[in-house]
Amino acid sequence: MIKTTGTRKPAHPTRRTVLKGTAAAAATGLLGSAMPRRASAATSMRYMCWEGYDKPSIIQPFEQAHDAEIAIDLITDSAGGFAKLAAGGYRDFDVVSSDSPWIARMGPADICEFIDDAEFADAYESFYPQFQAPFAPLQWEGKTTGLPTRWGWVGPTVNTKFDKLETWSSYAPCFDPAYRDKICVLDWGDWPIMPMALYAGINPYKELDEAELAEIRKVLRALFKNTRALVGDLSVAQKGLLDGSFRALIGGGTYCTSALRKDGHDYIQSIVPEPKDGLKQGIIWMEATGMLKGSDNPELAKDLVRHMVSPEVAVDLAWTEATCNLVPNSKAEDLFTAEQKNVLQMDYMWEAWDKSQFHDIAPNVDEMLAIFQEELAAAR
């Protein structure tokens, strides 16, 4: 998931870039700008993906099984990755793993090889019912643009040593004087904006009119009036959450919670507030994997997609250095340890799902981001 949803280039640190920047740069250096790592394989492929998908424990078994070498091109933001593909770069790649709205956009952009759901029936059968075909978020005109690979949710992240989860059954504490300067708003593009729009009773994933944008301005103004803590550095936000300086993080959710829980801080939890004004208050994000149009290796590209969603790879993909995330494969659940299930908050995942909107392209994201910056500047 990137961390921005519009067509603009990200103007601010996003949760992906914050978490991944150093690792991505290091990985890119090690891989030599996407040069093949094996020189003697029968087939060469190119794979555009987020850090984590390139783990040797995931890629090397596929290479060995198929006598192939895979050159990796790491994404640092989904919008930028999509722009590269749409500008003609799709001809240089076989497979891509990115945030689901951008995989879905490959359909109307005419740059993807559509997936035959019947051909991947065995993969779908291993998925939870929520992700089985036809899976609407990845459909375009009734055709499938990719398969889901990882997911999570965005809601308040709370340290239960300092606060009760029940307090966060809504975003109301963000505006309570008792929480003044105790709320950390993550400077991650549109991610902190979307929950505030939902709290204001506005669905940010539809076309908004001027009155609705004005309401979003009001709620952001009230938010900034109650907190001065806009933080782009995740480590700073996590430290403040751990020591009680912050009672909650807004705009992060499981993507940033999991690293703390993996380190033993399982009293840190990401939850989803109760529906308000008929609107669900959480946001489900998802990553997906699709095939590029015109691949020289279409059958091998299918094999790589199938490999990425297999139960064993799903577990490996869920558990990375930077972050840990849920996967759509139900058979993978049996392979997770009890500790991993606890870190991933698997006992809560379907409640979070039921209370959340599904993340998509927001038509007015540029206006909302501009409002965010204007109100932030005015608050300072």
Domain ranges for the chain:
43-152+285-348, 154-283+360-379
More confident residue, 228 or 231: 231
Count Cβ atoms within 10 A of the Cβ of residue 209 and give its class: 0-12 exposed, 13-18 middle, 19 or more buried: exposed
Placement of tokens 């593009």 in the chain: 189
Provide the pLDDT for residue 307.
98
Q: How far apart are CA 104 and CA 112, in angstroms?
A: 9
Residue 54: the pLDDT is 95
Q: Is the pLDDT of residue 36 over 70?
A: no
pLDDT score of 39? 55
Percent of the chain with pLDDT over 70: 90
Q: Residue 33: is its pLDDT beyond 60?
A: no
Render pLDDT for 253-300 as a digit per residue (tens, 0 to 9).
Answer: 998 889 899 999 999 999 999 999 899 999 999 999 999 999 999 999
Assign residue 305 a region (left: φ > 0; alpha: ψ between -120 and 50; beta: otherwise): alpha
Return the pLDDT at 25. Answer: 35
Q: Pick the closest to residue 317 from 100, 326, 137 (CA basis).
A: 326
The CATH homologous superfamily of the domain defined by 43-152+285-348: Periplasmic binding protein-like II (3.40.190.10)
Residue 35 has pLDDT above 50, yes or no: no
Do the domains 43-152+285-348 and 154-283+360-379 sit in the same CATH topology, yes or no?
yes
pLDDT averaged over the chain? Answer: 89
pLDDT at 207 exceeding the cut of 90: yes
58, pLDDT greater than 70: yes
Return the ∠ at Cα 80 (arms to 256 and 14), rounded to 5°.
Answer: 25
113-168 per-position pLDDT tens digit: 999 999 999 999 999 999 999 999 999 999 999 999 999 999 999 999 999 999 99
Q: Residue 107 pLDDT more than 70?
A: yes
pLDDT at residue 5 is higher than 50: no
pLDDT digits over 301-352, tens only?
Answer: 999 999 999 999 999 999 988 889 999 999 999 999 999 999 999 999 999 9
Q: What is the CATH topology of the domain spanning 154-283+360-379?
A: D-Maltodextrin-Binding Protein; domain 2 (3.40.190)
Output the pLDDT for position 17: 42
Which of 8-12, 27-31, 77-81, 214-218 is most confident? 214-218
The mean per-residue pLDDT over the stretch 34-58 comes to 82
Q: Which of 262, 265, 240 is nearest to 250 (CA)?
A: 240
